[in-house]
Amino acid sequence: MSDELDRFLAHARGSAATGNAKLLSLDELRARRGEESAERWGLSALRGRLVELSARGATATLTAAIEIVAEAQEQSEPVAWLTLTNGTFYPPDVADSGVDLAALVVVRAPDATAVARAAERVLRSGAFGLVILDLGGGSNADLSMQIQGRLVTLAQTHDAAVVCLTEKTDDTASLGSLVSLRAEALRQRERPDFAVRVRVLKDKRRGPGFTQLLKRRGPAGLT
């Protein structure tokens, strides 16, 4: 198992997401966002923090999360994606978005508590710069304050970003007071393309109100 982990980490740290027509490159993202935007959203802004990315309706949480995964891989950071056994993670779509699946650990667990405990084990290794917890919606997405506290401590100790994906409206309470940043990701149509609007609802460092619009190309032939 140790040899397998070593091989995975060697590949992940030497991997970069390339040839991606749907996601902008890291340089293009930074150019479009500007320095101030880059400080508010993206891997560097999320390091050492417990983050919640949520929405309901025309959700784009998976798209926004996959963008962060691609950014982490651009920086040769190993990434873990932890989801429920009935989660919506679909490898072909993720790969089509430019993510190197060979540099991504995917773990499926029966409930949110099991997902969080798996995340703790991943974080304790100190090897991962980004850990995604896809918790789904409803009461099953709840995490105890004790679990949240451990995730925060591990994120800070290892300078990792811990991002929880949930299904809820913007007026629904966040996972808890230990969430350092909460954002909403919604899909909107901008012919002939699509856009993902990421709006910060809570930010303990800089305050809420920041919005970032990310352009996405629609399917071929769409007008």
**Residues shown for the chain:** 223
Q: Is the pLDDT of residue 125 over 70?
A: yes
Among 25-39, 55-69, 117-131, 206-220, top mean pLDDT goes to 117-131
pLDDT of residue 216: 62
- pTM of this structure: 0.82
Residue closest to 153 by CA, chosen among 50, 51, 72, 41: 50
Q: How confident is the model at residue 34 (pLDDT cuts 50, 70, 90)?
A: very low
Most confident of 22-26, 54-58, 96-100, 153-157: 153-157
What average pLDDT does the chain have? 83
> DSSP string spanning 155-187?
HHHHT-EEEEEEE--TTS--S-TT--EEEEEEE
Domains and CATH numbers, the chain: 2-183 (3.40.50.300)
pLDDT at 19: 40
DSSP-based three-state secondary structure for 14: coil
pLDDT, tens digit, for every residue of 146-199?
Answer: 999 999 999 999 999 999 999 999 999 999 999 999 999 998 876 656 788 999
176 or 59: which carries more pLDDT confidence?
Answer: 176
Helices (H), 14-60: 26-40, 43-46
